[in-house]
Amino acid sequence: MTATGRTVRSLLFAIVMSLLLLLLGCQAAPAPIRSDTELENLIKLCRVWGYVKYTHPAFLLGQKDWDEELLELIPQVRELETYEEANALLHNWFVSLGEINCGEASPAPVIPRTEVILTDTSWTTSAAYLGDVLSGDLGQLADLPYVDHSKAPIRWDDGENVFRNEGMPSPQYEDPGFRLLGLFRLWNAMEYYFPYKDSLDQDWVLYLEEYIPRILEGTDRHSYEMSIATLAFQLHDPHVWFEEPSPDGAGSLPLFSGELGYYFFPVPLAEAEGQLVVSETSGDCPLERGDILLSLNGTDMDQLVKERRQYEGYPREDTVVNRMRYTTLTRSQVETMEVEVLRGGETLLFPVKGRMFSLPEEIAPQTSHQLLEGGIGLIHLALLEEAEISEVMNSFRDTNGLIIDLREYPEGFRRYGLSAYFQIYTTPFITVYEPSRFVPGVYTVETRSGRDYCSMPPTDVYHYGKPVVVLMNNDRTQSNAEYFVAMFSLAENVTLMGETSAGAAGGRVYLPLPGNLKMAFSFERATKPDGTCWFQTGITPDIYVPRTIQGITEGRDEVMEAAVKYITDHK
């Protein structure tokens, strides 16, 4: 090779190496916190931006994009060296939003209900924390008149989708600003609209000290989603649920589906005696009712619980396996799962075909009511229509007792008229805390009865005063079903039987999050009128009747059997 050739080759090699180094230098790298001052300033940014986002007319009227404002502030705040510089920067930002002009605003109406403050906003006027100027800025946002919220971060006419105006920026997982936007949106939504912060393990603001560094240490989708999800799981809220779009774009799937697998276990499972047990069969599945799961794809179930519990939120320790059994614990990356079970004392191994994008179909009641042997009426509340309440109760007038099954979820409030037959229709059974439409972090409080929920009161009402009415309850008795338990527990002849309920109390909404995520959480607080709260703890039955492996194997409904026996013994 000539000298000229060697020179050209060396030059090309140098160019290639330079380009390679340039590309490597452009690869996303973690953006860790450099100092305590930077961390404290980012915490302050999160809190100030969130408060202004939910109160300033520039945002409430849709004149400014709250996400864009935050994304511009983040890199500026990260460069500051002192707390005073952060206060000055945030003051200048506040001024840049323009005058506090409420436009065609109207005074907030007087609400004839008690108000309680569940979020402490005293920091917004603390000169020691914000400085004199910035604290004065935020002080201007108190007691403003009510403005139209149709373009605001939260709007009040959309049921479960009150956060529908939140943007969904394209995923940029390597961008620190994008990552902090997701964290700050979630944190502030919970700060002002999650009503159970008093149940947390620590003050909500302290979680920012842990999660801001954590989310900045990652650069990929997995680390972002894990940071977001695990912060939400700190709420221990049974309503917390994450969804992401399915790969086919036809719907949504639980978060982490890509990691845990798109194949669901093909047959229903139940927890009994500390084990996961096959509770129903399917024609093309070799598993049988009563099979005890030992391992999945070569990993034993105890190990799977340890590995996968990070992907699931739970209200209390005894609910972990039950909540995980479909969404995280028995998911598979491969369609044909290798399932090891214990059957009749013998260990067996089966290839089992999973269901793609689809939960197993559990056998549900087929009719809203039926007459059992022994003259006992049975109502499956999830299937009972409001219009048939009178007909059903009149057909049960002369029964020896009544069983109301609350183990399936009763959608909506149309069945509350049933309480009229137990002389508790107008008796207050629940106190509801709803977020104020005027002041973030403030809740209006109202005690309600069945009449407040029932749009069509039943006719020909009589008092069903038979000695025993049994409510059947279990871990799937959640949210609205628990409202019914709280209501019927006021009747003198009602006994609750089964297992402890889930512990979800209050209405639920969805929060869109950057990265095409959707998070559900409890939006309202609910207690009994005496203040008793079943959030996280669930409602404990009067008579505990757990499922057993033998009962599942034999295909028996053990709670139903116990309820029938109890009524027969007490009629």
What pLDDT, in 10s, does the model give residues 386-430?
889 999 999 999 999 999 999 998 987 778 999 999 999 999 999
Q: Give the confidence band of 155 by pLDDT, cuts at 50, 70, 90.
A: very high
Residue 432's pLDDT band (boundaries 50, 70, 90)? very high
- Read off the tokens for 534: 């079943």
Q: Tell me what pLDDT residue 9 has.
A: 43
**pLDDT value, residue 108:** 62
First-to-last C-alpha distance (Å) of the chain: 107
Would you give the DSSP letter of residue 125? G
Question: What pLDDT, on the 0 to 100 scale, is given for residue 459?
Answer: 83
Nearest to 407 by CA among 380, 369, 378: 380
Average pLDDT value for residue range 464-480: 93
Out of 17-31, 142-156, 248-262, 408-422, least confident range: 17-31
Residue 320 Cα distances to 181, 410, 502, angstroms: 30, 23, 11
Q: Which of 299, 282, 289 is nearest to 338 (CA)?
A: 299
Record the pTM.
0.91
Confidence grade of residue 156 (pLDDT, cut at 50, 70, 90): confident
pLDDT at 480 over 70: yes
527-571 pLDDT, tens digit per residue, is: 999 999 999 999 999 999 999 999 999 999 999 999 999 999 998
- pLDDT (tens digit, 9 = 90+) per residue, 210-263? 999 999 999 999 999 999 999 999 999 999 999 998 887 778 888 999 899 999
pLDDT, residue 110, reads 61
pLDDT in tens, 38-74: 999 999 999 999 999 999 999 999 999 999 999 999 9
Mean pLDDT (whole number) for 279-303: 95
Based on C-alpha coordinates, what's the Rg of the chain?
Answer: 28
pLDDT of residue 458: 85
**How does strand 442-448 pair with strand 508-513?**
unpaired
Q: Which residue has the tokens 């598979």?
A: 332
In degrees, to the nearest 5, what angle opens at C-alpha 452 toward C-alphas 449 and 458?
Answer: 95
pLDDT band, very low/low/confident/very high, at 5 (cuts 50, 70, 90): very low
Write down the pLDDT at residue 375.
Answer: 96
H and E: helices and strands count for the chain: 17, 22
**Helices 36-55 and 176-193: crossing angle, nearest 10°?**
60
* Arithmetic mean of pLDDT, 310-326: 91
What 8-state DSSP symbol labels residue 242?
A: E
